[in-house]
Structure 1
Amino acid sequence: MTVEAPFAPAVSHGRLIPVTVHFDDLDALGLLHNARYPLLVERAWTELWHEHGIRFDGDWVAAGDACNAVRELRIGYEAPVTSPGRYAVHLWLERLGTTGLTYGFRFCSADGTETYARGTRVLVRLDATTLRPAPWSDGFRAVARELLRPAD
């Protein structure tokens, strides 16, 4: 009996988070609607941080590092997604600053080998009472460092 090696996703850095495209995510032409890509990326990012206990449950003060806002979103579409099914979002950090970060993402095949869209998003950590930039916690920074893309 032959034992196959476990499947290794095609990513050298960051994390590959599974996502599902549903029939109602498609537009009238049968393509994944352009507005769904950022939504699916957000869901993947949220899942990743939930794994580390970082979440928003309705209380901004208690949210800590989950109290943040998007400063910028850039996305480029490379190939159409033409059917519902299992896909993935590849997430990593490009930059980790004192109060902000830039993360990169790819919307891709479930194994990470095909790229349909890619982009970046800039987040700013906010103080819940003033809504001014605030530093990321040490715990957040420790987890975030693991997601940093290696320098080329």
Structure 2
Amino acid sequence: MTAQAPIAPAVSYGRLIPVTVHFDDLDALGLLHNARYPLMVERAWAELWQEHGFGFEGDWAAAEDACNAVRELRIGYEAPVTRTGLYAVHLWLERLGTTGLTYGFRFCSADGTQTYAQGTRVLVRLDAATLRPAPWSEPFRAVGRELLRPGS
């Protein structure tokens, strides 16, 4: 018996982050509850940024780039998730500005080939003391540039 090579994810930009849908994520109809999609996207982004050393550990003054707020969230639901198991969130940046960014996302099959929901979210980096917009750090921007969708 020969081992098969893993299937390459169906994404050519951004990152595909594995997520798990559990029984308690489903609604009374047995569908992934609409409020769980943004939650899973948030967790996937937190995981991705944590891999690069950006995260919140209880101190907003020390959080730097992790001190940000959502300005806008848009999501469209395309196909129902009807069972528990492994899925993925495809993440990328649409725009990386001085104090804000827009990221795109897809909630999809584990290999990225089927899309269940997709959308965008706008974040603004905040100064922890004033809660006013503040510029992203250069290390954060360097990671962000790697996540930009081609043509963005």
What TM-score range do you get, normalising by the shorter chain?
over 0.9
Instruction: Tell me which residue corresponds to 1:106.
Output: 106
Q: Which segments of structure 1 move beyond 2 Å, counting only runs of 4 or more?
A: 1-7
Deviations 1:21-80 (A, max 9, x none): 000000000000000000000000000000001000110010010000000000000000
SS at 2:13 equivalent? coil
The one-letter code of the counterpart of 2:127 is: D
Instruction: Tell me which residue corresponds to 1:121.
Output: 121
- Offset, 1:6: 3.8
- Offset, 1:2: 4.7
Counterpart check, 1:66 vs 2:66: yes
SS at 1:119 equivalent? strand
Give percent identity, aligned residues only: 85
How many pairs are equivalent?
A: 152
Alignment TM-score, normalising by the size of structure 1:
0.97
- Offset, 1:5: 3.6
Instruction: Tell me which residue corresponds to 2:22.
Output: 22
| Structure 1: unaligned runs, 5 residues or longer | none
Instruction: Tell me which residue corresponds to 1:43.
Output: 43
Alignment TM-score, normalising by the size of structure 2:
0.97
Instruction: Tell me which residue corresponds to 1:149.
Output: 149
| Structure 2: unaligned runs, 5 residues or longer | none
